[in-house]
Structure 1
């Protein structure tokens, strides 16, 4: 039986995009031919390492003393790496980046005997990096480059992100595009869309951070003629450091059609998807690497309105004028113009939503993504024959 060891930051019950994706992917790649395990960090501060089995996947959690500049502090991670290597004897180490703890693999003689796959979720340096990231990245880059050089395969989630990534520029011959994915099935929703309701219902989901572009959307709504404003309703889901600032901005604009919901439960989020006519993701930089919420909407037959951020995968996931709409980034007027047209043609959301669902089932189901990942592993084994 072949063994795959994943290296990640955290794993559920810790909530995060990469972590949730791993929890969906790993159980689907285990079976009669593959044994799958993962080494991550404890998501609570503790000097102890432990392990558990979740859905048939062995999860090793390394001791962690918190985080510094978004990086888990785990001084004994190399010890835990060697412990996992001894127990699991992996053929492939699947490394989810960015993750500073993955650099410990470079110091492990046993790890270097394995094949490495780097899963490139995003670059460390965005369009507007924090000052400490900008200052420390040259040192980080040395180890990052060493990991990429050592890897036999690199997974990137979209062609556009791969083409725009400077760290991947010298390694594109190794890159395979495998998108993120979600399960086809989803829990039943408790809200039913009222067909007689004429308002255009817009949902925004994501962390309340500057790169998500909430202010651009709010400015677009404020610029709409009053009759159009009365025809739309917006719900914003998410926590983040800009919650109060965005509320103040709404008050200054005098907008009353936007409801800030904050954090919600999984069932409440599902209800929000059922309630809406479309998802809006008005992000302003490529820190929005993929936009997993686009898939969450698509599997409920809801289209997405996104922006054409250069290098982001959003404009690749959404097919313009087919499964949604792609408008210029940082442009309130472009969003406003599209909203006016959608208010005039409410049925188009339903038609595009069905197209989005069909594309999701064909290209972005987690079952399809898992199979592509297994095919990648098999290509490595074939090369070694």
Structure 2
């Protein structure tokens, strides 16, 4: 009889988000060896059950959000029912999700279900939540049989993971190699972008326009560069209008807005330098960074203590890392890569190799399988996969 796993994610595909994609990757990595179900919030008020990749997804209606935390009237009952009827051997919980954590702790209090805590990031931005849920975090980490972190940097930089280092294992996030394929249409779009910016050093930055992504520092760095540079900033967010105002007199910067995946790949393929100016541990890993490195693009990053960004991109090897929020150093790094063709190519080639060796789905699938099998068999030694 196949062992059973219940995955608990804040949201789930087709909802788009980094944690949600990792949760789906995790499910698909295990689908041939385990019977699985997923429980998550619905991006709406109704309770819905559907199937994704032939796996049942139980979606609990969300009536409101407080500090980015979804709240649901039906969640407690539906979680209890699925644990009672499905009888999972393992529960994999994608943290942070404090509202749900409260119910998980109650459900797992007096049973021998193996509990894997998938620690995506510390609660950093929501200061009130961070203080309020300290006790809950301690209980979660105590109950966990094993804890997954996405980089060794995050284990070393997190006060929570430091307290349970013996339970932690590193399973790096992955990129979808299939999704990264370049079609003739994408190549044609990339060539058009290059032609329209002939003679320029093309820089691209990708992400939601929110504080931790650090786009304001890229805009400030741009003002220190001359007109041989062209900088494209993709995406939208709550800071879009203020960022546009800040860059209003800088003709080097273009905001593309939210664009289709095909166009995004074309911009990254066309660029000479990938700018990744995130500034806090809210950027726990940097999948977009790994995707650009897969295309052989050298990156410029800030040093973020405790973040996996500086584990994904290695200073002087796959790009250039500078002091956090140091605008002058960031501009100098961009200029250095622009002026040094050999360094740019070397970093790009090394970045591609690093992704191939460490951050592809095949690596992730193998790591997750080994880890889950080991947890089920009560392995106690700490591993670093």
TM score, norm. by length of structure 1 = 0.91
Compared CA separation, residues 60 and 218, structure 1 to 2 (3 A)? same
Residue in structure 2 matched with residue 93 of structure 1 by the alignment:
91
| Distance of 1:135 and 1:50 partners within structure 2 | 31
Write the mapping of 1:1-385 to structure 2, written as runs, cut at 5 A: 1-31=2-32, 33-46=33-46, 49-100=47-98, 101-108=100-107, 112-124=111-123, 126=124, 129=125, 133-185=126-178, 186-188=180-182, 189-190=186-187, 191-193=189-191, 194=194, 197-224=198-225, 229-251=226-248, 254-383=249-378
Counterpart contact for 2:275–2:301, Cα < 8 Å: yes
Cα drift, residue 149 of structure 1? 0.6
Counterpart contact for 1:82–1:110, Cα < 8 Å: no
| Distance of 2:324 and 2:55 partners within structure 1 | 41
| Distance of 1:201 and 1:234 partners within structure 2 | 6
| Distance of 2:148 and 2:108 partners within structure 1 | 24
Q: Secondary structure at the match of 2:133?
A: helix
Cα drift, residue 97 of structure 1? 0.3
* Long gaps (5+) in structure 2: 381-385
Cα drift, residue 244 of structure 1? 0.8
Cα drift, residue 285 of structure 1? 1.8
Counterpart contact for 1:85–1:111, Cα < 8 Å: no
Counterpart contact for 1:231–1:343, Cα < 8 Å: no
Compared CA separation, residues 353 and 107, structure 1 to 2 (3 A)? same
Q: Secondary structure at the match of 1:39?
A: strand
Counterpart contact for 1:156–1:175, Cα < 8 Å: yes
Q: Secondary structure at the match of 1:167?
A: helix
Structure 1, 92-101 or 168-177: larger mean CA deviation? 168-177
Over 4 Å off, 4+ runs: 193-196
| Distance of 1:84 and 1:265 partners within structure 2 | 37
Cα drift, residue 157 of structure 1? 0.8
Compared CA separation, residues 384 and 346, structure 1 to 2 (3 A)? closer
Cα drift, residue 136 of structure 1? 4.1
Structure 1, 15-24 or 199-208: larger mean CA deviation? 15-24
Counterpart contact for 2:114–2:376, Cα < 8 Å: no
Cα drift, residue 294 of structure 1? 0.8
CA RMSD of aligned residues (A): 2.0
| Distance of 2:96 and 2:312 partners within structure 1 | 22
Number of aligned residue pairs: 370
| Distance of 2:114 and 2:317 partners within structure 1 | 40
Q: Secondary structure at the match of 2:164?
A: helix
* Long gaps (5+) in structure 1: none
Residue in structure 1 matched with residue 383 of structure 2 by the alignment:
none
TM score, norm. by length of structure 2 = 0.91
Counterpart contact for 1:106–1:112, Cα < 8 Å: no
Cα drift, residue 208 of structure 1? 0.9
Counterpart contact for 1:24–1:182, Cα < 8 Å: no
Compared CA separation, residues 321 and 240, structure 1 to 2 (3 A)? same
Compared CA separation, residues 171 and 375, structure 1 to 2 (3 A)? same
Q: Secondary structure at the match of 2:317?
A: coil
Q: Secondary structure at the match of 1:43?
A: coil
